[in-house]
Chains A and B, each alone.
Chain A
Amino acid sequence: MPRTDTAVRADRVDAAGVADTAARTVPDPDPGPPAPTKRRPAGRSKAGWVLPPVAALGLVFLYPLALVVWQSFTPEDGGHSTAPYAAVLAEASFRDALANTVLIAVGATAGALALGLVLALVIAFVPFPGGRALSRFIDIFLAFPSFLITLALLFLYGTAGMANGLWTDVTGAASGPLDFLRTPWGVLLAEITYFTPFVMRPLLAAFSQVETGQLEAAAALGARPWRIIRKVILPEALPSLAAGGALVLVLCLNEFGIVLFTGAKNVVTLPMLVYTKAILDGDYTGACVVAVVNIALSVALYALYRTVVARTAPRSGSRTGGVRRRAGA
């Protein structure tokens, strides 16, 4: 069913496109109809098409965002200055949160990429019963809320979870050996678990585009499976790998639910810091500063990703014709 995969991939591209617009915070300059006829003056009809969506976008998205940015430049004691930034940036808790956020996001992305790559390779190229069903399940998995995974992990590995329960039952010890969910490793595990399918989906779509003929030609030429993966499959799937990785990186940077649900009090990320400052401390300006930094970080990483993709894309532009692989077959 390659059609489904293409559709899913198109969705992914759409999502990226939306993120793109959001990141630039500039509305599409020309959503209007094609060249106007001579009889009607161009300006009015075009404005009629352009203004309402721009106004709506501004009202629901740009205005709140602008408020946040504006608030971040407004110290508690009145006036407008960069003093809040100086104050927040000087805090050790902020620097820790920044380091935590980047480290966890990068680690989770690397883990999700590695795990997703292996799983997608197996699903796409090793025929086994249920492979197609598994491929479908991944689609469903993408719709799960992130905290659900964290809850499931708590049931399994939490201090009162099944694994520890089994341990205490068997050994009679007071507590189980597993207590990593509240550490950064727990957050990392939860994020890798949750975000791996986000890497697999575009990869499976890319793998389904790899011609069986190319794989067979490579094998006939003497290439063992590992060489075929490295030299034929991966280069052709590289843009999808980059896309999946970038998506996961941005999502990890902004992940809130997973960190909150692990109950890891020592693991403070930027979104957690925003929450703490705004809701618990009542430091609204400080929260806005952290939020702005978080947005800037996401946008910067997204821009970096676009640059990388723009550089790799022309290499894998067109293909020779041929029969495409069926997804998950």
Chain B
Amino acid sequence: MTTAPDRPIAPPEPAPRDRNTGPRDLRGKAAAGDGRSGIRFDSVTVAYGRHGEHTVLDRLDLTVEPGEVMALLGPSGSGKTTALRAVAGFVRPVSGRVLIGGRDVTGLPPYRRGIGMVVQQYALFPHMKVAENVAFGLKAQKTPRAEIAGRVTEALEMTGMAGYAARYPRELSGGQQQRVAIARALAIRPGVLLLDEPLSALDAQLRSGMMAELARLHRELPDVSILYVTHDQVEALTLADRIAVMDRARLRDCGTPQQLYRRPRTEFTASFVGTANLLPVTVPADGADGGGRVRFGGRTLRVPAGGAAAGAGATLCVRPHLVGLGESPAADGNTLRGTITEVQWRGATHRLYVAVDGHRFMADLRELRETPALGDTVALHFAPEDAVLIPAGLTEDGARDA
């Protein structure tokens, strides 16, 4: 799109053109102070109902560093949108504090928080042209009249919509409307950008294109903290620096996408971030955990050492794409046998559903030349280092005190 070489990225050191506070300086007044504003949830609880009996967000503690993209990932009703709306100021926590850039904004109305927000349904003003939509926030913040046109153009160029300034929203496609909504949010140069399922209304192809757009925008605006609410793990894994996994009003896990995917700490994280085989296992009571062995059904599986207490139950997480067909070639590998209950051909891969001692086990195999038949007995193997042992007790509630 627009890759102007002098793209004014708010520089870490005072830039020579600082005196020119004209339209090319992306650091806005909204991002008051040093222009770097993270978000901090300080034990934020939100509840509805006459006596606050419906807790939709339960003591959330979370810090979004300045310039970080934090994805709030969770199923619907997990409290992730509530958390975002608490930052925006549309819900008032019953307890706890919300800080933006170190400033307590818990009691401030939305219009005094200086945030950019983009929602799933674009929410453009239908009676205003694209340029007027983008100028809305600038006018509301009493930006000097002479600056407005330049900053509108700048925001539209950033999202590749400069050619559509004179159109009405209804004359644009969904993807274009969402670009305008993003331009409108960025025009006020917010220190914090809140994205609430911004790609959910778009079809799959547009969505992956827009994901790349958002990633590029963030590279161009490295000081803007982004809180990205989504139920789509691909969006979260692709865009986020860190992911906060939420379920039933609580924060369950938080970490980099790699951490959450490779070393999930809870069953919920394992199954919600990527797909996972979750096998109930027991750690032998003889204290031989140091050797990294667990019992699954009648057999012993080798796993990475450490983690679970001896004699306790635990869950073994194995990613389907790390499972191979046939006996384990390595001496210390794990082999499972079972009957095929279902086969899905997915083009590049076959997914086999195999019943192992009554447990469903999934394997994503590179496309097989001959599709296995249902009812066949197959052997599947996985390496010990590809398995993750999730201790019991962390599944329900443990993420916060782990």
A residues within 8 Å of B by Cβ? 211, 213-214, 216-224, 227, 231-232, 235-236, 315-323
22 contacts between A and B (CB under 8 A): A213-B122, A214-B124, A217-B117, A218-B140, A219-B90, A219-B110, A220-B116, A221-B188, A222-B112, A222-B114, A222-B140, A223-B140, A231-B136, A235-B127, A318-B170, A319-B126, A320-B123, A320-B177, A321-B121, A321-B122, A322-B121, A322-B123
Instruction: Give min CB distance, A311 to chain B, whole Å.
Output: 14
Q: Point out the residue from B128, B141, B169 that lies within 8 Å of A222, measured CB to CB.
A: B141
Cα distance, A220 to B191, chains bound together (Å): 13
- Whether B99 sits at the interface, judged by CB under 8 Å, is no
Whether the Cβ atoms of A224 and B88 lie closer than 8 Å is: no
Please give me the 6 A-B residue pairs with the lowest Cβ-Cβ distance, nearest first: A221-B137, A213-B123, A322-B121, A223-B140, A219-B110, A222-B140
Residue ID in chain B nearest A213 by CB atoms: B123
**A315: nearest residue on chain B (CB-CB)?**
B127
Q: B126: which of A217, A218, A222, A320 is its contact (CB, 8 Å)?
A: A320
Complex alpha-carbon distance, A184 and B89, angstroms: 49
CB atoms of A321 and B201 under 8 A apart: yes
| Docked pose: A211 CA to B109 CA in angstroms | 19
* Extra 20 A-B pairs, beta carbons < 8 Å, given A216-B117, A220-B110, A318-B126: A216-B90, A217-B124, A219-B110, A219-B111, A220-B88, A220-B111, A221-B116, A221-B185, A221-B188, A222-B30, A222-B111, A222-B188, A223-B111, A223-B140, A224-B111, A236-B127, A317-B170, A320-B123, A320-B169, A322-B121
Q: What mask results when residues 23 to 43 of chain B are scored 1 for a CB within 8 Å of chain A, else 0?
A: 000000010000000000000
By beta carbon, the residue of chain B nearest A323 is: B121
Taking a contact as CB atoms under 8 Å apart, the answer to whether B111 and A320 are in contact is no
CB-nearest residue of chain A to B187: A221
B290 to chain A, nearest CB (A): 54
Given contacts A227-B140, A319-B170, A320-B170, contact A220 B125 (CB under 8 A): no
Bound together, the chains give a CA A217 to CA B112 distance in angstroms of 13
A316 touching B127, Cβ below 8 Å: yes
Q: Which of B122, B140, B169 contacts A221 (CB 8 A)?
A: B140
Of all chain B residues, the one with the shortest Cβ separation from A223 is B140
Indicate if B119 sits at the interface (CB-CB under 8 A): yes
Q: How far is the CA of A151 from the CA of B128 in the complex (A)?
A: 46
Q: When chains A and B are docked, how far (Å) is the Cα of A222 from the Cα of B112?
A: 6
Residue interface bits B88-105, CB-to-A below 8 A is 1, else 0: 111000000000000000
A216 to B84, CA, bound (A): 13
Contact of A322 among B30, B113, B122, B128 (CB under 8 A): B122
Shortest Cβ gap from A120 to chain B (Å): 18
A253 CB, min distance to chain B CBs, angstroms: 31
Cα of A9 to Cα of B188 in the assembled complex, Å: 38
A45 CB to nearest B CB, Å: 42
Smallest Cβ distance from B385 to chain A, in angstroms? 46
The CA-CA distance from A317 to B169 in the complex, in Å, is 11
* Min distance, Cβ B124 to any Cβ of chain A, angstroms: 5
- Please name the residue on chain A nearest to B142 by beta carbon: A222
Smallest CB separation, A227 vs chain B (Å): 6
How far, in whole Å, are A231 and B136 apart by their CA atoms in the complex?
A: 9
**Bitwise interface map of B from 248 to 271 toward A, beta carbon under 8 Å scored 1, else 0:** 000000000000000000000000
Partner of A214, one of B30, B123, B201: B123
Determine the chain B residues whose CB is within 8 A of the CB of A227 once the complex forms.
Answer: 140
Shortest CB-to-CB span from A207 to chain B, Å, is 15
Which residues of chain B have C-beta atoms less than 8 A from A224's C-beta?
A: 111, 140
Expressed in whole angstroms, the Cα–Cα distance for A122 and B365 within the complex equals 61
Query: Chain B residues near A236 (CB, 8 Å)?
Result: 126-127
| Contacts known (A220-B113, A320-B126); A211 close to B136, Cβ less than 8 A | no
Residues of the A chain whose Cβ atoms lie less than 8 Å from the Cβ of B179? none
**Contact A220 to B127, CB < 8 A, known contacts A231-B136, A320-B177, A322-B122:** no
Known: A231-B136, A323-B121. A220 touches B170 (CB 8 A): no
Contacts of B181 in A (CB 8 A): 217
Minimum distance in angstroms from A323 CB to a CB of chain B: 7
Q: How far is the CB of B217 from chain A (nearest CB, A)?
A: 18
Q: How far is the CB of A313 from the nearest CB of chain B, in Å?
A: 11
Minimum CB–CB distance for B137 against chain A, Å: 3
Across-interface contacts of A223 in B (CB, < 8 A): 111, 136-137, 140
Nearest-neighbor residue (CB-CB) of B196 within chain A: A213
B392 at interface, CB cutoff 8 A: no
Please give, as numbers and ranges, the residues of chain B lying within 8 Å of A214 by CB-CB distance. Answer: 123-125
A231 partner residues in chain B, CB cutoff 8 A: 125, 136
Q: Looking across the interface, which residue of chain B has its beta carbon closest to that of A212?
A: B123
Interface centre among B109, B121, B141 (most CB of A within 10 A): B121
Whether A320 pairs with B140 at a CB distance below 8 angstroms is no
In the complex, the answer to whether A216 meets B123 with C-beta atoms within 8 Å is yes
Q: Which A residues are CB-close (under 8 A) to B125?
A: 214, 218, 231-232, 235
